[in-house]
Amino acid sequence: MEKKDLDWGSLGFSYMKTDYSYVCNYHDGAWEEGGLTTDHTVVLSECAGILHYCQECFEGLKAYTTESGDIVCFRPDLNAKRMADSEKRLVMPQFPEDKFVEAVKQVVKANAAWVPPFGSGATLYIRPLMFATGEVIGVKPADAYQFRILVTPVGPYFKAGAGKPITICVAKYDRAAPHGTGNIKAGLNYAMSLYPYELAHKNGFSENLYLDSETRTYVEETGGANVLFVDKDGTLVVPKSFTDSILPSITRRSLVHVAEHMLGMRVDERPVKFQEVLDGEFVECGLCGTAAVISPVGHIVDGDKEVTFEKGCEKMGPVMEKLRTTLTGIQSGAVEGPEGWVCKIC
């Protein structure tokens, strides 16, 4: 198979049309067979539910080439499960989890020429999404939906100067209501995070750190990534929400497993008071998600207060580095990981 003639090393994180998308429609109480399409547009009624009451959810994962030349993706079954949870919360029909994994494989295989070669650092980003196409005017769930997967090649998250720790700020706004939709991957969670995101950027920060919106006491996560800390004893401390408003990151769950079962580390998943962060209890901090695996955080600013993570402010700290190297090693096939984590496509 001939690869597309792209400068893989200089790709950014932006959308580029590939050869195929996957599409499957739901109507009259059932999913159609579904399949590949070369049409990368969507035509909707002006009264489609997505346009009025925002019934939409999505996923994000990536396909890449291993050293041995296989095209693989990472734990797509967990994306399928999380998407099903999002659908349920938004009163959307369940897209069968096995059909989800098959659809991911089918669309990646059809676009194999767009999967960046091993060593380029680039990956094929996979974006499954579902939205209400049925017409609604009164507030209620729609009766027709479209499930779609688009894929697009994206560049390495860290370019030259790799992984320089970022500075983030504590947001004055909330990301998710207590017991709201913070634990599902819905577009609506992002719509209202754009204003604080732009504000953070204008003030020179890379991201917002959100505290729990009920008490503004505990650390939750950033706009699009979970937070990890390392304390003075080398324990991995993972913020837990008592109002269930943190998105269950697959990267975070994988890193916790790697830390506990492969690196013999202590892991403490518990509510973390922001005051502990201010008091200097933690020596490293990182943000985790599919795109970067771990992005190191060097400083957190909260108004006139600033915290510096002493072991991770010049470059990524040693514990985060070890976690990142191990997980990316598993993903690339260089390190043997738990059964079933790496899913071979072709």
Residues that bind ligand PLP (CB under 6 A): 60, 185, 221, 224-226, 247, 249-252, 289-290
Nearer to ligand PLP, 208 or 226 (CB): 226
Nearer to ligand PLP, 197 or 282 (CB): 197
Q: Name the minimum Å distance from CB 289 to ligand PLP.
A: 4
CA 337, 115, 325, 185 dihedral sign is negative
The H or E element spanning position 71 is: strand 71-74
Minimum gap (Å) between residue 60 Cβ and ligand PLP? 6
How many C-beta neighbours within 10 Å does residue 219 have? 26
Query: Burial level of 321, CB count in 10 A (0-12/13-18/19+)?
Result: middle
Q: In the complex, what is the shortest distance from the CB of residue 327 to ligand PLP, in angstroms, rounded to a whole number?
A: 11
Torsion of CA 312, 316, 321, 324, to 10 degrees: 120
- Structure tokens belonging to residue 77: 């079954």
Point out the catalytic residue in the list 140, 185, 202, 273. Answer: 185
C-beta of 32 vs 260, nearer to ligand PLP: 260
Cβ of residue 43: shortest distance to ligand PLP, in angstroms?
Answer: 27
Closest distance to ligand PLP from the beta carbon of 293 (Å): 9
Placement of tokens 């995070």 in the chain: 193
Q: Report residue 245 as tokens.
A: 């408003």
| Contact assessment for residue 239 and residue 225, using Cβ atoms and an 8 Å cutoff | no
Quickly list DSSP for 112-132.
GGGSPPTTS--EEEEEEEEEE
Residue nearer to ligand PLP on the CB measure, 105 or 175:
175
Active site residue 185: yes
Give the amino acid at 81.
K
Beta-carbon contacts of residue 141 (< 8 Å; ≥ 6 apart): 49, 55, 91, 92, 132
CB nearer to ligand PLP: give 4 or 253: 253
Catalytic site residues?
185
